[in-house]
């Protein structure tokens, strides 16, 4: 089963637990039990899929994020732990979590950011946008399973295009996004689990890797309140380019770069200073 996989034994155990729908404690106490033919067939098929480097999350259909389980399919990016910093940044920027606010989540994918923010900010109105209808179906499922479906408006479209005509110019408190940020020429350096299975639409931004960020930076101030926030995840080495873009735009005031637990510049936060003025 190794097939270049770093943790074959652990992966096999996780697949067995998934097949049997049992936790690890039960599995350890029944380690010598035999599988019936049906379960054995399901387990073997799962192992074969993993041996081809398909991500565990797509095989099990689940990924933990912010302490909750989220449904994932090959139509959505698998949520990563570093993206929790995006949520922490949003929450840390809210002086009163019970205060009504409007948040837009761009490139929502599985909906993990929108769902967590809806749970943590009970007075927030959230608009979650993605250009993939299949991704939005997954996001809606996650919103329903975590009882926030009535608090999130899921909209299909490219970045902020769906906001046109909604009459919310200058009324959004926070625009948040984990956009695609891998350079198109870097696909060969990615692990097979990422390159061959995760959706290219959610991974690759263009030749520079910051193209989607640039579009968001240029469009966001139309919708943000004065001193409203733009908070985005970014890739390694992109902070300087994005700060330059914010400065060139001229609509933003303060900028802040936040590092993840590995010490990598991971989130960029900028405040809108002009909005509808000037």
Domains of the chain and any CATH numbers? 8-52 (no CATH), 74-272 (3.40.50.150)
Closest CA to 172 of 132, 230, 239: 230
CA distance 22 to 232: 37
Q: How far is CA 127 from CA 173, 176, 243, in A?
A: 12, 10, 26
| Residues forming beta bridges with residue 68, ordered by sequence position | 65
Contact 225, 171 (CB under 8 A): yes
What would the two tokens of residue 121 be?
């900010």
pLDDT of residue 35: 73
Helix (H) or strand (E) holding 67: none
Helix (H) or strand (E) holding 205: strand 204-206
Please state, as a whole number, how many other Cβ atoms lie within 10 Å of the Cβ of residue 247.
11
**Per residue of the chain (278 residues), what is the pLDDT tens digit?**
457 787 888 878 888 888 777 767 766 676 766 777 787 888 888 889 989 999 999 999 999 999 999 999 999 999 999 999 999 999 999 877 778 999 999 999 999 999 999 999 999 999 999 999 999 999 999 999 999 999 999 999 999 999 998 899 999 999 999 999 999 999 999 999 999 999 999 999 999 999 999 999 999 999 999 999 999 999 999 999 999 999 999 999 889 999 999 999 999 999 998 643 33
Please state, as a whole number, how many other Cβ atoms lie within 10 Å of the Cβ of residue 121.
23
Contact 265, 234 (CB under 8 A): yes
């Amino acid at each position: 089963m190794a097939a270049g996989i770093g943790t074959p034994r652990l992966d096999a155990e996780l697949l067995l637990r998934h097949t049997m729908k049992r936790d690890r404690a039960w599995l350890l106490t029944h380690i010598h039990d035999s599988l019936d033919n049906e379960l054995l067939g399901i387990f073997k098929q799962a192992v074969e899929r993993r041996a081809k480097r398909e991500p565990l999350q797509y095989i099990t259909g689940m990924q933990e994020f912010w302490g909750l389980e989220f449904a994932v399919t090959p139509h959505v990016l698998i949520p990563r732990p570093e993206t929790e910093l995006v949520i922490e940044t949003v929450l840390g920027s809210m002086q009163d979590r019970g205060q009504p606010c409007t948040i837009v989540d761009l490139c929502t994918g599985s909906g993990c950011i929108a769902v967590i923010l809806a749970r943590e900010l009970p007075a927030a109105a959230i608009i979650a946008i993605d250009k993939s209808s299949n991704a939005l179906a997954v996001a809606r499922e996650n919103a329903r399973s975590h009882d926030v479906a009535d608090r999130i408006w899921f909209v299909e479209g490219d970045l902020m295009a769906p906001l046109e005509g909604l009459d919310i110019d200058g009324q959004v408190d926070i625009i948040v996004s984990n956009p695609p940020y891998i350079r198109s020429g870097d696909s060969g350096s990615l692990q097979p689990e990422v390159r061959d299975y995760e959706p290219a639409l959610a991974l690759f931004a263009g030749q520079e890797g910051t193209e989607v960020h640039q579009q968001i930076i240029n469009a966001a101030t139309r919708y943000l309140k004065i001193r409203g926030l733009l908070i985005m995840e970014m890739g390694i080495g992109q902070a300087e380019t994005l700060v330059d873009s914010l400065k060139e735009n001229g609509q933003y005031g303060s900028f802040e770069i936040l590092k993840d637990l590995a010490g990598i510049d991971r989130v960029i936060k900028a405040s809108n200073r002009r909005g509808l003025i000037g």
